[in-house]
Amino acid sequence: MRALSAAVVWSMAPVWSMAVASLCARAGAASPAAPGSQASSQDRAPIGAERVQRERQRARERDPWLYVAGSFSNFIDAYDLREPGMPLVETISAGVDNPGDLAVDAQGTLYVDNGSGTVAVYPAGATTPSLTIPLVNPAGVAVAEITTSTLRLARNRRASSFTTKAKRPHGGPSPTNSSPYRGS
């Protein structure tokens, strides 16, 4: 039953199985053992969904990805930029509604500006949002890393309202002071 479950999971994620196999080959590691082959104890456990999830996370962390949104598509596609052919490796649909702008912060958190009036926040590796920020007609999202703090801004088409999280430390650089443009 466990082997059957593993087979079902793998069959549901052919793209990932190919990506994992390719990554294993590139890294010189052993590919997932074929049925009937002699597998080491490390290959045997964990199996099934846990293993798929673990390999998926490894591949995700190893490679650069490009997230792509379409204004008439209620999903976000992610492409692996290191794999040959830059394959589709993930699709996010939960919490996506008329998406527009996207942003990723230094921790790999994905921010999706939904035209329906929210910014959805996906922690690295998650396909469901951990946080949904309500806004009026958001038009863009950007992430800024300021020393140890993070500032998150979401523009608003109708008003200048925005949300911020965390504070800029005292004495830290001000964006208005660090501009290279003089005499503007």
Partner 1 sequence: MGTYHPRSLHLRALDGCTTGLAIDQRNGELFVSDCGGGTQVYELGNHNPLRSLDETFPADSLAIGAIGGRQVPFAPDLRSSAVEFYFAHARSPFYTLESGVTTTIGVAYKPAGV
Element (H, E) at 41: helix 41-44
Instruction: Give the nearest distance from C-beta 157 to partner 1 in angstroms.
Output: 13
User: In the complex with partner 1, which residue's Cβ is closer, 43 or 63?
Assistant: 63
User: In the complex with partner 1, which residue's Cβ is closer, 6 or 56?
Assistant: 56
Sorted by sequence, the CB contacts under 8 Å of residue 100 that are 6+ apart come out as: 69, 71, 113, 114, 115, 138, 139, 140
Instruction: Give the nearest distance from C-beta 54 to partner 1 in angstroms.
Output: 17
User: In the complex with partner 1, which residue's Cβ is closer, 37 or 164?
Assistant: 164
Instruction: Give the nearest distance from C-beta 183 to partner 1 in angstroms.
Output: 8
User: In the complex with partner 1, which residue's Cβ is closer, 48 or 100?
Assistant: 100
Instruction: Give the nearest distance from C-beta 49 to partner 1 in angstroms.
Output: 23
Distance, C-alpha 109 to centroid of its chain: 6
| Interface residue list for partner 1 (CB under 8 A) | 61-73, 75, 77-79, 81-82, 86, 88, 91, 99-104, 106-108, 110-113, 124, 140, 164, 167-168, 174-176, 179-182, 184
Q: Which residues of 144-174 are buried (b: 16+ CB within 10 A; e: fewer)?
A: eeeeeebbbbbbbeeeeeeeeeeebeeeeee
Q: What does the alpha-carbon distance between residue 123 and residue 64 come to, in Å, rounded to a whole number?
A: 16
Instruction: Give the nearest distance from C-beta 170 to partner 1 in angstroms.
Output: 10
User: In the complex with partner 1, which residue's Cβ is closer, 5 or 162?
Assistant: 162
Q: What does the alpha-carbon distance between residue 44 and residue 84 come to, in Å, rounded to a whole number?
A: 29
DSSP string covering 13-38: -HHHHHHHHHHHHHHTPPPPPPTTS-
